[in-house]
Structure 1
């Protein structure tokens, strides 16, 4: 399995428009963060988790020429807004794109991209086949996905475990039952918004507590805001085998 971090930023991305803080002014490429998304390559298949507003730019940067399905974590715009840009994959692969999400996610997509689902479609609109998922394992092209339900304040959000890799974004709390699904993961990815307490996202301290509980071989933090600090400074504070992810980072799992 190969995982590419397409984006590691929060809803506004980094740098934030109009901000001149140390992080937003940084010349370190690791401090330039598009909206959060990952690409998973496994068994010859290519899956994207979330298509944020930067989806087109991410696909071009990584030279992605094939996409077999899109899986969504939740319905917020910074995770869904780029759906229209699956069109080139429709054209190249000459088939509809499978899209997986909970009923609230699919409802939001059908509303925001109503032209995709119109009875009389304008020529060239994206073509999708939607699949409703619930909090139980599902299979996409022979690959098993285990949802991990977390709470983003009060909004249910799905993280996913694929074999020994677990990806969780936009979490503030995770129940004991859902944490049990994560245990045994070799690689754990968690959202880590900032240092200070936040209503709907894990702080650095809270994310480290979960890593300590799960004890993966390696952990990576994503969905990072400019309020966390520079990549260089925060990495100095992290324990061994815990890292800040950055856009374009690639990791492999045997």
Structure 2
């Protein structure tokens, strides 16, 4: 299995001219973070998790030429706003793109992209199929996927486990029942927005504590805000098996 970090940042963490923080002024490529998303390649199947506002750029930069399906963690715009650009894959692959998410997420997409679902479609509009999922295992092209429900303040969000890798973003709390699904992981990807307390995201210390409880062989921090600090400095503070992810990082497992 191959996992590519297409983006490891947040809308909060986009470098802008008006911001003079150390991260936004950094010339280190590891501090240039697009919105969080990953591509998982398993047995010839390419699964994308989330289509944020940077989706088109991420596909071009990483030379992604094929997608089999998109999995959605939740309905916030920094994870869904790039869906319209799926049309390039429609044209190339000559197929509707399957989208997987909880019913509330798919209903949100149906509302925000109503023109994709109109009875009479405008020529060339993106074409997708909606596949509702529950908090139970399912398969795409014989790839088994286990949803992991976490809470983003009061909003339920799905992480996903494939083989011995799990990807979780926008989590603040994870129930004991869902933590049971994270046993014996080779790789855990978990969000940590910043060092200061936040109402809906894990802090760096909270993420490290969570990793210490789950005990994966390796862990990677994603969904990083610019208030976290630079990659170089934050990495020095982390345990030996914990790493700050960066855009373009590739893991094999």
TM-score range, shorter chain: over 0.9
Instruction: Give 2:141's aligned residue.
Output: 141
SS in 2 for 1:227: helix
Distance 1:107 1:13 in 2: 28
Instruction: Give 1:213's aligned residue.
Output: 213
Moved segments of 4+, more than 6 Å: none
Taking structure 2 as the reference length, what is the TM-score of the superposition? 0.99
SS in 2 for 1:125: coil
Distance 2:184 2:11 in 1: 30
Taking structure 1 as the reference length, what is the TM-score of the superposition? 0.98
Q: How does 1:121-136 map to 2 (within 5 A)?
A: 121-136=121-136
SS in 2 for 1:12: helix
CA-CA distance at 1:185 after TM superposition? 1.0
Distance 1:188 1:128 in 2: 30
The runs of 5 or more residues in structure 2 that have no matched partner are none
CA-CA distance at 1:18 after TM superposition? 2.2
Check whether the contact 1:14–1:31 (CA below 8 A) recurs between aligned residues: no
CA-CA distance at 1:42 after TM superposition? 0.6
Check whether the contact 2:160–2:167 (CA below 8 A) recurs between aligned residues: yes
Instruction: Give 1:48's aligned residue.
Output: 48
Instruction: Give 1:64's aligned residue.
Output: 64
Check whether the contact 1:87–1:127 (CA below 8 A) recurs between aligned residues: yes
CA-CA distance at 1:17 after TM superposition? 5.7
Q: Are residues 15 and 47 of structure 1, via their aligned partners in 2, closer, same or farther at CA, if it must alter by over 3 Å?
A: same
SS in 2 for 1:86: helix
Check whether the contact 1:193–1:225 (CA below 8 A) recurs between aligned residues: yes
Distance 1:82 1:218 in 2: 30
The runs of 5 or more residues in structure 1 that have no matched partner are none
Check whether the contact 2:12–2:226 (CA below 8 A) recurs between aligned residues: no
Distance 1:85 1:12 in 2: 23
CA-CA distance at 1:141 after TM superposition? 1.2
Distance 2:110 2:12 in 1: 24
CA-CA distance at 1:11 after TM superposition? 2.4
Q: Is 2:164 the partner of 1:164?
A: yes
Instruction: Give 1:77's aligned residue.
Output: 77
